[in-house]
Structure 1
């Protein structure tokens, strides 16, 4: 059963070595993520599952010990998801889960065993919600670390340029996360979300499925459009 969740953005810029000179500007976002992970650590979890968006060829389970790196961003830095040996096959974490693994290492996570699940960023709402329900049906006290950014269209210099719909979309997501409103998250339209570059959409909808029927209180910890990209941090507990 889902007993707690942390929702964090997943730009590689959260990693100071990747951000380089821009690292101080991301510090408030990092602090909010550390606060959210503190809520998870206090929840007496039996298991923590990290979920994040990925391409279709990267989607699927990421067992404990799966390595990741930021070499694709010009930094010779490696991370590992949870503890344990790397699973066979040589597969690496997609970027969103690598950022999640870095956040866990950054706070010295030891509160519960960790594994991961990369979610196809094109997954339908129905499949996302069903995935969340299946995750939550498993025995034990489950926590979710949900990685994903909002729109990338909040300014003229944003990666997706300025789109007038972006601010309203992000505000609706922020309200839903802050209110732990599973119905509002499940109602997000994948079409506009994709057009706005909001890759967190499928993971938020997995959270919606996992949180159905569970009385959790939400709190929005951070809401900022930095470099034209929406970064949202929230906790459900």
Structure 2
């Protein structure tokens, strides 16, 4: 992203949501974006996804401009699970593959692979309303991964989950990232979540959103499943957490 900005007109005024965003995302990295409410985090994600078009600057993927519309290279996981309630989990996950005319045998292989990865293979005949919130979100992640995007965009995907389920989902997405080596762009309000998941952490200022801090971390490579809590009290973790909280609240 080179000098990216976005301005829009409301009924009363012009609003600058983002300003002078310069960002290089390495393939295979886990990028976490933090900032105060209304700073443009979701707007930034939507520009990468192709839902919004930047009014300034350029956004490139492999040195080619990103098209101002969704495509198979960028998969989005929202906070609210966007599953079709009239389809079972298997049919939800294969939906994009079917739209792309992937042959049925190949579709079944891909769907089973990703449902097994997120721990839902035994629930593939269930409808979404029969699953818990965490299971629905895992199904949403499987559906995105099944389309094999270059980058997975996640907009506060665990924000509505209870604390225990959230911790389990953090372990789950960290394991998926390690296994698939996908590039993940992850919006969160939770500073500890960003530190536990992000190899590249970006902090935005209040509106208009500008990048005021970037951190790089090896921690997500080291965390063992179910052991993330032990890192929260480590000195370096606490120092980084307080630094980011102070930046966001200042």
Larger-gyration structure (1/2) = 2
TM-score after normalising by structure 2: 0.30
